[in-house]
A and B are shown apart, each in its own frame.
Chain A
Amino acid sequence: MPALEVNRLATGGLIDRQQRVNFTFNGRSLQGYHGDTLASALLANGIKVVGRSFKYGRPRGVVGHGSEEPNAIVQVGSGAETIPNLRATQVEIYEGLEAASVGGWPSVDFDLMSIVGWFGRLMPPGFYYKTFMWPARFWMTYEHIIRKAAGLGRAPQERDPDLYDRLNHHCDVLVVGAGPAGLSAALEASRTGARVILADEQQQLGGSLLSTHSSIGAQSGGQWLQETCEQLASCDNVTLLPRSTVFGYYDHNFLGIVERRTDHQVPSQRSGARQRLHRVRARQVILATGAIERPLVFAHNDVPGVMLASSVSTYINRYGVAPGTELVLFTANDSAYQCALDWHGAGRSVVAVVDSRAAPDGPLVKACRRAGITVIAAHGVIDVKGGNAVRAALVAPLNEEGSAVIGSARQLDCDLIACSGGWSPVVHLSSQTGAKPLWDKEVIGFLPGDSWQAECSVGAAVGSYTLLACLAEGASAGAAAAARAGHGNGESMFVAPNTQEQPEHPAQALFLVPHTRGTSRAPKQFVDFQLDVTAAAIELAAREGYQSVEHVKRYTAMGFGTDQGKLGNINGVAILAQTLGQDIADTGTTMFRPCYTPTTFGALAGRDVVDLFDPERYTAMHRWHLEHNAQWENVGQWKRPRYFPNAGESMQEAVDRECLAVRNSVGLLDASTLGKIDIQGSDAAEFLTRIYTNSYLKLAPGRCRYGLMLKEDGMIFDDGVTACIDENRYLMHTTTGGAAGVLAWLELWHQTEWPELDVYFTSVTDHWSTATISGPNARNVLAKVCDDIDLAADQFKFLDWREATVAGVKARIFRISFTGELTYEVNVPSHYGRHLWEALIAAGEEFTITPYGTETMHVLRAEKGFIIVGQDTDGSMTPQDMDMDWIVGHKKSFSFVGKRSLSRSDSVREGRKQLVGLKTRDPQRVLPEGSQLVNDPNQPLPMSMQGHVTSSYFSACLGHSIALAVVKGGLSRKGEVIYSPQADGSVIEAEIVDSVFYDAEGERQHV
């Protein structure tokens, strides 16, 4: 049987009493009404303890009613759809909702952390740093257990099955917060025809109007709200976004909003996107984010049953819930008296209002007295009795400043203590623009600072707490913002209505309530509920020398919780200022950063997940590869076949077979992904000569040349073959991964350094499909499908290229080789790629032509000692380091890019790492790539590193393993032995050899 709703009032609230809702909390079946939040429903059911605190494992109850809630943090749902770290105050209940506390593993009622609790006394601020950081390896263990026990929620283990989407908006005016100020601003701005977005984190627009008794002119607040919302909803130029949190304010008025679209619905009835990310670029932003009531810091102020005064009012007025029977209200200002009036009006007993001020006498104070409510002035609640629930408040007289207890305490029995230390404007979004919040003594709060972004704050967010001021400021800001965005003349049509408000009397700036014992000896006075930071901890941090508020934050963890210290930070700052003997203005506050409340990764990722995470690029032959069992390698965004295993073949067996086929007969590689840049202009050759280390001035049409490109620091950046297509026209090949970077590099030099050169660049990578025929039978294969040019070795030589017809298609054939074998790279317009490929496969059948992939290509080129830029080089290798001085044109008239750096002292020093080959003593042992190399494997740690292995394979052709490595001074160490200690304790011994393992004379590619 569900528990009874002991705290539900017979009437009142905006809930739908016709719609019962069943839900569970920590496994317990409960009931509420449609329109309840999880928090209001729990309070209605008399549930006091909703979680356990992070550090001490103390029982905690609901404190607030909105995004500020620090204690009632829950995990909602189960399985793949579960969401952790939601505030119960913002979770709307639906039929079948399952919620659980995130604090308190294994259960809230019997908590493992209560065992830690007794030793929690031994955990001062900085405890983690002081205790757990050494030895470092233990920290992982401690952290794992502590985090699990304290509970920060659980991420789902399965893939999220829900859909999330994204909308981009441009608007004239974005209004954040739909309380009276925001609504008024949106209304005025919309009248000008400006495109307006109004976003609010609650399920209903209205903010404070949802739970007050105020009137606006002849209407009740509720009537005005309904009329205004209807009017806004009827405007085509207005987008209303309830359940939408503006979580981040980024540069140039770019804001992120996450809209919760179906989270409040019964899961079986949900359809469409669960959450939607709105990316908004706003011409003007109006921040009407309101204010959050500030709790007071007194001993045992965390006992369940201590709440914010405005929250108690909200539960009564909006949800028809009175979370207790006997109320003590503790305040330092007038506004909280409304809570006592509401409580009294709900037919419950107000034990007393305790006011720290000497002579409170404002209009609401008078109203309380008229209602017969006892007001105890010049007193404070200094301590609380009770463990899992409030049993009594200890009330003592305070001095005028509220800084000392000046008499003996008495006990007021009660089960609810509402408190109010005043209001803190919600400056988080303003602060995210980089504006520094400024302390205002009159408001007793931080106000938004100056920002260069096109925004303004209005209403309670700037400390204007009357309804009339909110409406008026909103209206004028709305009109002004619309005008700045180019709509209307900036004049507001606002006519001040009678709101029947009477001015409040001044509040007292009270933060830490004194105790009969000093702060360090008093019972715990909590500042940050979520992370268990006490007033004593902040004082201790100050005593230990921390003075900057940012340092104290990090030392005590104040404000580090998922609530970002919405309730606690200002009290913490005030206590720090007091301890340091400073003004709060001088202490300042910490920076607030996105996200305002925790935001799901699902919403941020949207549809950019799984297959759509990153674009994939396919060649025209892709489907053929798929049909022939290609195993894939990702090269940049390209999918390239790595090898083509036959049935039952391992990768090594397949690669061995493919390698032998190329060396002994013929293989076929899809090389379409290689970057290709068409370069034209009368200065193209001059430009190439400045960019590459060698010269292109004498490269004739029909000829190709290999080139090495350096960064200006002399380090190898890219390589590839460039062909002279015609006079003033060249085709540059780049590495597959480097294509985009090389194009940007060419543009950079042309546009910024040598704009006088007549040269143009166009990427043509996607224009061509390339099939590389390689092996002794390559000519025989090509001859079968190409008969309009002479393929004879003396007519079509190595490093020539020809235009020809291949398999009926106009083609460019390049005689260049990355395998060291006779090779033709056949290029056809890309959509003929598969046709060409299949024609070559058919033509090669009699030679057992073998398709091969990148892995085989890597082995073949390594046998030849050909480097792969980015694998054998790492941005710190010169051509000399790679033993490639032969390609550097030292005599070129123009100092090509990188040349000067090749003679820098560091580039010519002894002991640079140089490219060599390695031959393992055990010919079957393949060195793992990345292995470190040392001279003496028995040297005590740390050993002197000599270099590392950059490429390593088993060569089927040679019958032993081969490796390329960079070794200090390696070029002069050939014949020496070097060692590679492995993680398993073994040592691989290898001889340093020349980097060319196969056909050192390079004869095979010339045949």
Chain B
Amino acid sequence: MLQVHCPYCGELREEEEFSYGGQAHIARPEEPDSVSDKDWGSYLFFRKNPRGLHHEMWNHTAGCRRYFNVTRHTVTYEILETYPIGEQPSCKDGIHGETS
């Protein structure tokens, strides 16, 4: 069971307070109506599945109810950082890399 640091509450809390929100940093097309079916399909359905660092959203469901971003290693489940929506990760593949 993970421990997640909520960047808004400022505390390390148990996973059961949170819910997973899927891959982070997916921008909704500004003009959906002018996007091709193929590109819209990519936006809707295609997600990364990396072996290594993954940037993902979590929601502090049983806490402040806010969404935030998490950089998590998908092999070790190590959480390298959490940061508010709208910010960019400081840990990226090739910088912190794989830890095992």
Among candidates B35, B40, B45, B59, residue contacting A747 with C-beta atoms closer than 8 Å? B59
A-B pairs, top 9 by smallest CB distance, nearest first, are A900-B32, A895-B32, A251-B77, A252-B3, A751-B67, A254-B1, A452-B76, A452-B99, A251-B2
A434 nearest CB across to chain B (Å): 6
Residues of A near B31 (CB, < 8 A) are 895
A905 at interface by CB-CB < 8 Å = yes
Q: In the bound complex, do residue A904 and residue B40 qualify as a contact, i.e. CB atoms below 8 Å apart? A: yes
B88 at interface by CB-CB < 8 Å = no
Distance, CA A753 to CA B100, complexed state (A): 35
A748 at interface by CB-CB < 8 Å = yes
With contact pairs A755-B85, A901-B44 given, residues A748 and B67 touching in the complex (Cβ less than 8 Å): yes
Among candidates A252, A712, A748, residue contacting B2 with C-beta atoms closer than 8 Å? A252
Q: In the bound complex, do residue B41 and residue A755 qualify as a contact, i.e. CB atoms below 8 Å apart? A: no
Residues of A within 8 A of B (CB): 250-252, 254, 281, 434, 450-452, 712-713, 743-744, 747-748, 751-753, 755, 895, 899-901, 904-905
Distance, CA A325 to CA B73, complexed state (A): 58
Residues of B near A744 (CB, < 8 A) are 19, 59, 61, 65
Residues of B near A434 (CB, < 8 A) are 75-76, 100
A1006 nearest CB across to chain B (Å): 36
B63 at interface by CB-CB < 8 Å = no
Q: In the bound complex, do residue B1 and residue A250 qualify as a contact, i.e. CB atoms below 8 Å apart? A: yes
Chain A residue, CB-CB nearest to B40: A900
Residues of A near B33 (CB, < 8 A) are 895, 899-900
Residues of A near B28 (CB, < 8 A) are 712, 753
A22 nearest CB across to chain B (Å): 44
Residues of A near B40 (CB, < 8 A) are 900-901, 904
A111 nearest CB across to chain B (Å): 44
B78 at interface by CB-CB < 8 Å = yes
Distance, CA A713 to CA B28, complexed state (A): 12
Chain B 47-91 interface 0/1 with A at a Cβ cutoff of 8 Å (1 = within): 000000000010101000111000000011111000001100000
B11 at interface by CB-CB < 8 Å = no
- Interface contacts beyond A254-B3, A747-B65, A895-B31: sample of 18 additional A-B pairs, CB < 8 Å, sorted by A: A251-B2, A252-B1, A252-B3, A450-B100, A452-B76, A452-B100, A713-B44, A744-B59, A744-B61, A747-B59, A747-B66, A748-B59, A751-B85, A752-B67, A752-B85, A753-B28, A904-B41, A905-B37
Q: In the bound complex, do residue A899 and residue B77 qualify as a contact, i.e. CB atoms below 8 Å apart? A: no
B58 nearest CB across to chain A (Å): 11
B21 at interface by CB-CB < 8 Å = yes
Residues of B near A752 (CB, < 8 A) are 57, 67, 85
Distance, CA A250 to CA B14, complexed state (A): 13
Residues of B near A901 (CB, < 8 A) are 40, 44
Q: Can you list 25 A-B contacts (CB < 8 A)?
A: A251-B77, A252-B1, A252-B2, A252-B79, A434-B75, A450-B100, A451-B100, A712-B28, A712-B44, A744-B19, A747-B66, A747-B67, A748-B67, A751-B66, A751-B67, A751-B85, A752-B67, A753-B28, A755-B86, A895-B31, A895-B33, A899-B33, A900-B32, A900-B33, A900-B40
Residues of B near A895 (CB, < 8 A) are 31-33
Distance, CA A930 to CA B25, complexed state (A): 40
Interface residues on B, range: 20 to 34
Distance, CA A964 to CA B8, complexed state (A): 47
Residues of A near B57 (CB, < 8 A) are 752
Most chain A beta-carbon contacts within 10 A, residue among B66, B76, B85, B99: B76
Distance, CA A743 to CA B59, complexed state (A): 12
Residues of A near B67 (CB, < 8 A) are 747-748, 751-752
Residues of B near A751 (CB, < 8 A) are 66-67, 85
Distance, CA A254 to CA B67, complexed state (A): 24
Chain A residue, CB-CB nearest to B57: A752
Residues of B near A254 (CB, < 8 A) are 1, 3
B32 nearest CB across to chain A (Å): 4
Chain B residue, CB-CB nearest to A894: B32
Q: In the bound complex, do residue A281 and residue B3 qualify as a contact, i.e. CB atoms below 8 Å apart? A: yes
Chain B residue, CB-CB nearest to A762: B65
Chain B residue, CB-CB nearest to A279: B1
Residues of A near B77 (CB, < 8 A) are 251-252
Distance, CA A417 to CA B18, complexed state (A): 56
Distance, CA A753 to CA B25, complexed state (A): 10
Distance, CA A281 to CA B61, complexed state (A): 21
Q: In the bound complex, do residue A900 and residue B21 qualify as a contact, i.e. CB atoms below 8 Å apart? A: no
Distance, CA A712 to CA B41, complexed state (A): 11
Chain B residue, CB-CB nearest to A904: B37
Chain B 17-40 interface 0/1 with A at a Cβ cutoff of 8 Å (1 = within): 001010000001101110101001
Distance, CA A452 to CA B61, complexed state (A): 28
Distance, CA A452 to CA B97, complexed state (A): 13
B44 nearest CB across to chain A (Å): 6
Chain B residue, CB-CB nearest to A436: B100
Residues of A near B29 (CB, < 8 A) are 900
Distance, CA A434 to CA B77, complexed state (A): 10
Distance, CA A744 to CA B79, complexed state (A): 23
Residues of B near A712 (CB, < 8 A) are 28, 44
Distance, CA A223 to CA B85, complexed state (A): 60
Distance, CA A434 to CA B86, complexed state (A): 33
Chain A residue, CB-CB nearest to B32: A900
Chain A residue, CB-CB nearest to B44: A713
B15 nearest CB across to chain A (Å): 8
B27 nearest CB across to chain A (Å): 9
Residues of B near A900 (CB, < 8 A) are 29, 32-33, 35, 40
B83 nearest CB across to chain A (Å): 13
Chain A residue, CB-CB nearest to B31: A895
B1 nearest CB across to chain A (Å): 5
B4 nearest CB across to chain A (Å): 9
Distance, CA A712 to CA B32, complexed state (A): 11
Among candidates B32, B41, B44, B45, residue contacting A899 with C-beta atoms closer than 8 Å? B32
Residues of A near B86 (CB, < 8 A) are 755
Residues of A near B66 (CB, < 8 A) are 747, 751
Residues of A near B85 (CB, < 8 A) are 751-752, 755
Distance, CA A784 to CA B36, complexed state (A): 59
Residues of B near A250 (CB, < 8 A) are 1
Among candidates A281, A748, A905, residue contacting B21 with C-beta atoms closer than 8 Å? A748
Distance, CA A239 to CA B78, complexed state (A): 28
Residues of B near A748 (CB, < 8 A) are 21, 59, 67
Distance, CA A569 to CA B57, complexed state (A): 41
Residues of B near A713 (CB, < 8 A) are 44-45
Chain B residue, CB-CB nearest to A740: B61
Q: In the bound complex, do residue A452 and residue B78 qualify as a contact, i.e. CB atoms below 8 Å apart? A: yes
Residues of A near B37 (CB, < 8 A) are 904-905
Residues of B near A753 (CB, < 8 A) are 28
Residues of B near A451 (CB, < 8 A) are 100
Chain A residue, CB-CB nearest to B26: A752
Distance, CA A747 to CA B67, complexed state (A): 8
B55 nearest CB across to chain A (Å): 13
Most chain A beta-carbon contacts within 10 A, residue among B59, B61, B65, B86: B65
Q: In the bound complex, do residue A251 and residue B19 qualify as a contact, i.e. CB atoms below 8 Å apart? A: no
Residues of A near B59 (CB, < 8 A) are 744, 747-748
B82 nearest CB across to chain A (Å): 13
Residues of A near B76 (CB, < 8 A) are 434, 452
Most chain B beta-carbon contacts within 10 A, residue among A250, A434, A712, A895: A895
Distance, CA A901 to CA B40, complexed state (A): 8
A251 nearest CB across to chain B (Å): 5
Chain B residue, CB-CB nearest to A907: B37
A226 nearest CB across to chain B (Å): 37
Residues of A near B75 (CB, < 8 A) are 434
Residues of A near B41 (CB, < 8 A) are 904
Chain A residue, CB-CB nearest to B75: A434
Chain A residue, CB-CB nearest to B25: A752
Chain A residue, CB-CB nearest to B86: A755
B74 nearest CB across to chain A (Å): 11
Residues of B near A743 (CB, < 8 A) are 65
Q: In the bound complex, do residue B1 and residue A251 qualify as a contact, i.e. CB atoms below 8 Å apart? A: yes
Residues of B near A450 (CB, < 8 A) are 100
Most chain B beta-carbon contacts within 10 A, residue among A752, A753, A895, A905: A752
Chain A residue, CB-CB nearest to B99: A452
